Homo-oligomer: A and B are copies of this chain.
Amino acid sequence: MVEDASPLLGEVAAALAPHTGHAQVVGLTGSPGVGKSTSTSALVGALREQGKRVGVLAVDPSSPFSGGALLGDRVRMQEHATDSGVFIRSMATRGHLGGLSWATPQAIRVLDAARCDVILVETVGVGQSEIEVVSLADTTLVLLAPGMGDGIQAAKAGILEVADVFVVNKADRDGADQTVRDLRYMLSLGRRERDETKWKAPIVKTVASRGEGIGDVIAALDKHRDWMNRSGERDRRRQLRAEAEIEAIALEKVRARIGDLRGGGTLPELAKRVVAGELDPYVAAEDLVDTVSAS
C-alpha cells in the first residue's frame, strides 16, 4: 500500500500511529562493491541471535523497479528468507523525484508498528538522495572498502557529516589500514571546529563475508543508541524525520491537485502561453498555486 500510494493509507497510518516509536532505525550506505548486502545479511544474523525482530528496506534511488524485482539479486539475503522474525523488502523511486523521501518514512512506520526492534535501511551509492534517505535514520552507518577511492568520494558527497559509525569492510585486503588512516585524518579536519560533547563516529573494521567484526558493529550501534537517548539527539532526529515526512506527504498532495488541474486544462493552458512567450513560468506558477489553494 505504501509503494502504490494507496488512498487507504491514511486510514491505516491513523491506526498504526499509537504503535510507533519503538524501533531503532539504522541507515546503511556506501558505494557499489563495498559489501552492503553481505554486511546487512551478517548484521541481520547477529541481531537474530540476540532474539531481535529485524526489518530490512533495500532502497535503490536509481532503479525504476520496486517490490520483489531486486530481491532476485540478493542471494546473500536468502538465508533469512524463511525466518519469520525478519522482514525484507526492496523499494525504488516509483518513477518520480521525491518518491523515496515520500515512501521510505512510511515503510519505516509500518515495520515499526509491526514491532521490529531494528530496521536496517540500505541504500545504493552515496549521492544526494541516498544521504537524504539515510539521514532519516536514528543511526547512520557508512561502509567503505580498501582501494576504491571512497575517501574522496565520501567527502564529496558530504557523507562524513551524516555518518554515526564508519565500517571499513573487506579489512583483510591490502590498503585497509590506509583507508582507516585516510578516514581518521579527514574526520580530524572536520572535528577541529566541532563541539567536544558531540558524538565521535567510531571506525570499525569488518570482513562481513566471514562475520568478522560484526559484533563490534552491533556494539557500536548499541553505544550510539544509548548516546542518542541520553543526549536528546534521538528526539531531535525523530522530530526532523516527522517534519520531513509530513512535508513530503503535503507536497505529494499538492502535486496530486496539480495533476487534477492538468485534466481540467489549467496547467496546459498556462504552459501554452509560456511556450508562446506570452507569459513567464514564475507568473504561471503563481497562478497555479493560487488555483490549487482555492480548489
Binding site for B on A (CB under 8 A): 9-10, 13-14, 16-21, 61-65, 93, 95-98, 100-101, 105-106, 109, 125-129, 132, 156-158, 235, 238-240, 242-243, 245-247, 249-255, 258, 262, 267-268, 270-272, 274-275, 277-286, 288-289, 292-294
Residue numbers in B under 8 Å from A267 (CB-CB) = 243, 246-247
Known: A97-B101, A125-B62. A17 touches B268 (CB 8 A): no
Q: In the docked arrangement, what's the CA distance between A62 and B157, Å?
A: 8
Assess whether A62 is in contact with B247, with CB atoms less than 8 Å apart: no
Residue numbers in B under 8 Å from A95 (CB-CB) = 128
Q: Within the oligomer, what is the number of copies of this chain?
A: 2
Q: Closest residue to A16 on the B side, CB-wise?
A: B280
Among B128, B249, B279, B285, the residue within 8 A (CB) of A62 is B128
Known: A101-B97, A271-B243, A288-B246. A277 touches B20 (CB 8 A): yes
The minimal Cβ–Cβ distance linking A260 to chain B, given in whole angstroms, is 12
Q: Closest residue to A17 on the B side, CB-wise?
A: B280
